[in-house]
Amino acid sequence: MNSFSLEYDIKKPSSYNQNTKVILMFHGYGSNKSDLFSFSNFMDSDYLIISIQAPIKLDYNSYCWWSLQYDDNMRLTMNAEEALKTVNQLDEFISTDLCEKYNFISDQIYLVGFSQGCMISYTLSINYPKKYKKVIGLSGKIPYEILKYDEKEDYTDHNFFCSHGIYDQVIPIEIGRESGKWLSKNKISHKYLEFDSAHGINAENFEQMTHWLNKN
């Protein structure tokens, strides 16, 4: 058992096997495991869905994956050392706790993340390319500060769904577009969509996301 343990909500189908899609959800900064888990009521009942809560407590029912800090120019930045440590511990937690307890393998996993949770999803997939190949990245960005991209690795089986709100004021649309360009440059298969929304997931976005998930 991994000493790094996290709380999570889980919704299991009536039965599942190694063809079952396993959806691992990662919420955004300041939220909690119940946030994205609310989507599970509107997703395929055959999925095994696990919504994981971040380890750092900010306030009552408010958590984050890593802390934010201001640099010398008063720009908000990530604590890269803390962030990378969280990503590595999270990989171990998934591999040794969740996979073993619920009897699934990494090939079944779809990482679904919003905002900071999107950054978690991108980083897990790119830093551990043999394990995590399917990603749904919502209103986030690729965190280059902690990325361990290796051009010698095989990313040909990777497939990402990426979406962003045009009016996002937390992570501006230009940053979302830059992430899409980075994926194209590095030949990582993806679908990038923009929606008439701010920093959130509107009905059209959710519909497109679930359609992609059902087909891939």
Domain membership of residue 186 (yes or no) is yes
Q: Residue 2's pLDDT is what?
A: 52
Interval 155-202: pLDDT, tens: 999 999 999 999 999 999 999 999 999 999 999 999 999 999 999 999
Q: Residue 69's pLDDT is what?
A: 74
Q: Residue 70's pLDDT is what?
A: 66
Interval 27-61: pLDDT, tens: 999 999 999 999 999 999 999 999 999 999 999 99
Q: Of the candidates 162, 111, 108, 167, which has an alpha carbon nearest to the alpha carbon of residue 140? A: 162
Q: Of the candidates 122, 186, 121, which has an alpha carbon nearest to the alpha carbon of residue 155? A: 186
Q: DSSP assignment, residue 206?
A: H
Alpha carbon distance 192, 155 (integer Å): 17
Domain membership of residue 2 (yes or no) is no
Residue 160: count of CB within 10 angstroms of its CB: 24
Share of the chain above pLDDT 90, in %: 90
The DSSP H or E segment spanning 52 is strand 48-52
Residue 110 has pLDDT above 70, yes or no: yes
Residue 121 has pLDDT above 90, yes or no: yes
In one letter, which amino acid is 40?
Answer: S
- In the beta sheet, which residues pair with residue 163? 138, 193
Domain membership of residue 142 (yes or no) is yes
Domain membership of residue 101 (yes or no) is yes
Band of residue 79 on the pLDDT scale cut at 50, 70, 90: confident
3-state SS of 142-188 is CCHHHCCCCCCCCCCCCEEEEEEECCCCCCCHHHHHHHHHHHHHCCC
Alpha carbon distance 59, 31 (integer Å): 10
Band of residue 1 on the pLDDT scale cut at 50, 70, 90: very low
- CB burial readout 196-214, b (16+ within 10 A) else e: ebebbbeeebbeebbebbe
Q: What is the pTM of this model?
A: 0.95
Q: Do residues 195 and 205 touch, judged by C-beta distance below 8 A?
A: yes
Domain membership of residue 3 (yes or no) is no
Q: Residue 148's pLDDT is what?
A: 94
Tokens of 101: 């307890």
Q: Residue 24's pLDDT is what?
A: 98
Interval 12-31: pLDDT, tens: 999 999 899 999 999 999 99
- State which residues form the domain around 79: 8-215
Q: Residue 73's pLDDT is what?
A: 65
> Three-state SS for 67?
coil
Residue 174: count of CB within 10 angstroms of its CB: 9
Domain membership of residue 32 (yes or no) is yes
Provide the Cα torsion 96, 97, 102, 108; round to 10°. Answer: -50
- The average confidence (pLDDT) of the chain is 93
State the CATH number of the domain containing residue 118: 3.40.50.1820
Domain membership of residue 1 (yes or no) is no
Q: Residue 4's pLDDT is what?
A: 72
Q: Do residues 99 and 125 touch, judged by C-beta distance below 8 A?
A: no
The domain tally of the chain equals: 1
